[in-house]
Amino acid sequence: MQQHKVMGIFSYPNNLLAALRAAGKARVTVASVFSPIPHHEIDIALGSKKSPMRYATLFGGLAGILSGLGLAVYAHLRWNLMTSGKPVLAWLPFCVVAFEFCILFGFLSTLVTMLVANRMPRFRLPSYYDPRFSKDRFGLLLSCAEGQQEQAAKILNDAGAEEVHEVSG
Protein backbone atom coordinates (compact mmCIF):
# COMPACT_ATOMS: atom_id res chain seq x y z
CA MET A 1 0.00 0.00 0.00
CA GLN A 2 1.48 3.28 -1.09
CA GLN A 3 1.48 6.19 1.33
CA HIS A 4 0.34 9.58 0.07
CA LYS A 5 1.20 12.88 1.72
CA VAL A 6 -0.89 16.02 1.93
CA MET A 7 0.64 19.34 3.03
CA GLY A 8 -1.29 22.14 4.68
CA ILE A 9 0.16 25.62 5.20
CA PHE A 10 -1.23 27.74 8.02
CA SER A 11 -0.84 31.39 8.99
CA TYR A 12 -1.79 30.95 12.63
CA PRO A 13 -0.68 28.38 15.21
CA ASN A 14 -4.24 27.95 16.53
CA ASN A 15 -5.34 26.70 13.11
CA LEU A 16 -2.43 24.27 13.05
CA LEU A 17 -3.38 22.99 16.50
CA ALA A 18 -6.99 22.51 15.37
CA ALA A 19 -5.75 20.49 12.38
CA LEU A 20 -3.55 18.37 14.64
CA ARG A 21 -6.47 17.58 16.92
CA ALA A 22 -8.74 16.77 13.97
CA ALA A 23 -6.09 14.51 12.43
CA GLY A 24 -5.74 12.68 15.74
CA LYS A 25 -9.49 12.11 15.95
CA ALA A 26 -9.65 10.92 12.31
CA ARG A 27 -6.65 8.61 12.86
CA VAL A 28 -4.63 10.25 10.09
CA THR A 29 -0.87 9.98 10.60
CA VAL A 30 1.03 13.21 11.16
CA ALA A 31 4.26 12.85 9.18
CA SER A 32 5.82 16.20 10.09
CA VAL A 33 5.07 19.60 11.58
CA PHE A 34 6.92 22.76 10.61
CA SER A 35 6.97 25.84 12.82
CA PRO A 36 9.01 29.05 12.66
CA ILE A 37 8.95 29.34 16.46
CA PRO A 38 9.01 26.89 19.36
CA HIS A 39 5.43 26.19 20.37
CA HIS A 40 4.93 23.81 23.29
CA GLU A 41 1.26 23.26 22.54
CA ILE A 42 2.32 21.52 19.32
CA ASP A 43 4.33 19.01 21.38
CA ILE A 44 1.32 18.46 23.63
CA ALA A 45 -1.01 17.96 20.65
CA LEU A 46 1.41 15.46 19.11
CA GLY A 47 1.77 13.62 22.42
CA SER A 48 5.55 13.94 22.32
CA LYS A 49 7.51 12.10 24.96
CA LYS A 50 10.38 13.56 26.95
CA SER A 51 13.65 13.66 25.09
CA PRO A 52 16.29 11.03 25.92
CA MET A 53 18.91 13.76 25.55
CA ARG A 54 19.20 14.21 29.31
CA TYR A 55 20.36 10.61 29.69
CA ALA A 56 23.09 11.14 27.11
CA THR A 57 24.29 14.16 29.06
CA LEU A 58 24.16 12.25 32.36
CA PHE A 59 26.08 9.23 31.06
CA GLY A 60 28.60 11.49 29.30
CA GLY A 61 29.14 13.44 32.51
CA LEU A 62 29.57 10.28 34.58
CA ALA A 63 32.00 8.87 32.01
CA GLY A 64 33.88 12.18 32.16
CA ILE A 65 34.16 12.06 35.95
CA LEU A 66 35.48 8.50 35.86
CA SER A 67 37.88 9.31 33.01
CA GLY A 68 39.16 12.46 34.72
CA LEU A 69 39.72 10.71 38.03
CA GLY A 70 41.34 7.76 36.28
CA LEU A 71 43.70 9.99 34.33
CA ALA A 72 44.66 12.02 37.38
CA VAL A 73 45.26 8.93 39.52
CA TYR A 74 47.20 7.19 36.76
CA ALA A 75 49.42 10.21 36.12
CA HIS A 76 50.02 10.71 39.84
CA LEU A 77 50.96 7.09 40.47
CA ARG A 78 52.86 6.53 37.20
CA TRP A 79 55.21 9.46 37.57
CA ASN A 80 55.40 9.53 41.37
CA LEU A 81 54.28 13.11 41.78
CA MET A 82 54.83 13.18 45.55
CA THR A 83 54.96 16.70 46.95
CA SER A 84 56.06 17.49 50.52
CA GLY A 85 53.54 16.24 53.08
CA LYS A 86 50.57 15.55 50.76
CA PRO A 87 49.01 12.10 50.72
CA VAL A 88 49.82 9.78 47.82
CA LEU A 89 46.39 10.27 46.28
CA ALA A 90 45.14 13.70 47.33
CA TRP A 91 41.48 13.74 46.31
CA LEU A 92 40.89 17.51 46.39
CA PRO A 93 43.08 18.45 43.37
CA PHE A 94 41.58 15.54 41.43
CA CYS A 95 38.08 17.03 41.82
CA VAL A 96 39.03 19.90 39.50
CA VAL A 97 40.15 17.49 36.78
CA ALA A 98 37.05 15.32 37.29
CA PHE A 99 34.79 18.38 37.03
CA GLU A 100 36.43 19.57 33.81
CA PHE A 101 36.17 16.13 32.24
CA CYS A 102 32.54 15.89 33.37
CA ILE A 103 31.71 19.11 31.52
CA LEU A 104 33.69 18.12 28.43
CA PHE A 105 32.30 14.59 28.08
CA GLY A 106 28.77 15.71 28.97
CA PHE A 107 28.87 18.33 26.24
CA LEU A 108 30.37 16.01 23.64
CA SER A 109 27.89 13.21 24.32
CA THR A 110 25.00 15.69 24.15
CA LEU A 111 26.28 17.10 20.86
CA VAL A 112 26.74 13.69 19.24
CA THR A 113 23.36 12.45 20.46
CA MET A 114 21.65 15.59 19.20
CA LEU A 115 23.26 15.27 15.76
CA VAL A 116 22.25 11.60 15.50
CA ALA A 117 18.71 12.14 16.81
CA ASN A 118 18.10 15.08 14.45
CA ARG A 119 19.68 13.25 11.50
CA MET A 120 22.09 16.10 10.98
CA PRO A 121 23.73 17.44 8.99
CA ARG A 122 21.09 17.48 6.28
CA PHE A 123 22.56 18.54 3.01
CA ARG A 124 19.24 18.56 1.18
CA LEU A 125 15.87 19.64 2.46
CA PRO A 126 12.86 17.49 1.57
CA SER A 127 11.08 18.47 -1.62
CA TYR A 128 7.92 19.40 0.28
CA TYR A 129 9.71 21.92 2.56
CA ASP A 130 8.54 25.49 2.00
CA PRO A 131 10.94 28.34 2.92
CA ARG A 132 8.02 30.21 4.50
CA PHE A 133 8.18 27.72 7.39
CA SER A 134 11.32 29.52 8.54
CA LYS A 135 9.65 32.93 8.41
CA ASP A 136 5.99 33.20 9.31
CA ARG A 137 4.03 30.09 8.27
CA PHE A 138 3.24 26.77 9.92
CA GLY A 139 3.11 23.50 8.02
CA LEU A 140 1.45 20.17 8.64
CA LEU A 141 2.28 17.12 6.56
CA LEU A 142 -0.25 14.31 6.82
CA SER A 143 0.48 10.80 5.61
CA CYS A 144 -2.47 8.74 4.44
CA ALA A 145 -3.32 5.62 2.48
CA GLU A 146 -4.60 5.53 -1.07
CA GLY A 147 -8.06 7.08 -1.24
CA GLN A 148 -7.75 9.07 1.98
CA GLN A 149 -6.22 12.17 0.39
CA GLU A 150 -9.61 13.88 0.23
CA GLN A 151 -10.22 13.22 3.92
CA ALA A 152 -6.78 14.62 4.82
CA ALA A 153 -7.32 17.67 2.61
CA LYS A 154 -10.73 18.24 4.21
CA ILE A 155 -9.19 18.11 7.70
CA LEU A 156 -6.62 20.74 6.70
CA ASN A 157 -9.15 22.98 4.91
CA ASP A 158 -11.65 22.80 7.78
CA ALA A 159 -8.93 23.84 10.23
CA GLY A 160 -8.20 26.99 8.21
CA ALA A 161 -5.24 26.11 5.98
CA GLU A 162 -4.44 28.80 3.46
CA GLU A 163 -2.95 26.22 1.07
CA VAL A 164 -3.45 22.48 0.76
CA HIS A 165 -1.67 20.34 -1.80
CA GLU A 166 -0.53 16.76 -2.29
CA VAL A 167 3.21 16.22 -2.23
CA SER A 168 5.44 13.46 -3.52
CA GLY A 169 8.19 11.80 -1.53
Residue-wise pLDDT for 90-124, tens only, equals 888 899 999 999 999 999 999 999 999 988 888 88
Instruction: Look at residues 145, 76, 65 and name the one whose alpha carbon lies nearest to residue 101.
Output: 65
Residue-wise pLDDT for 52-79, tens only, equals 899 999 999 999 999 999 999 998 888 8
Cβ atoms 16, 159 nearer than 8 A:
yes
What mean pLDDT is predicted for residues 8-29?
94
Q: Name the maximum alpha-carbon separation found in the chain.
A: 83
Say if residue 9's pLDDT is above 70: yes
Neighbours of 50 (CB within 10 A): 8
Angle between helices 53-78 and 91-117 (to 10 degrees): 140
Pick the CATH number of 4-50+124-167 from 2.40.160, 2.60.120, 3.30.70, 3.60.21: 3.30.70
d(CA 149, CA 9): 16
**pTM of the predicted model as reported, rounded to 2 decimal places:** 0.74
Say if residue 32's pLDDT is above 90: yes
Strand partners, 6: 142, 166
Q: Where are the domains of the chain?
A: 4-50+124-167, 53-117
What mean pLDDT is predicted for residues 121-136?
90
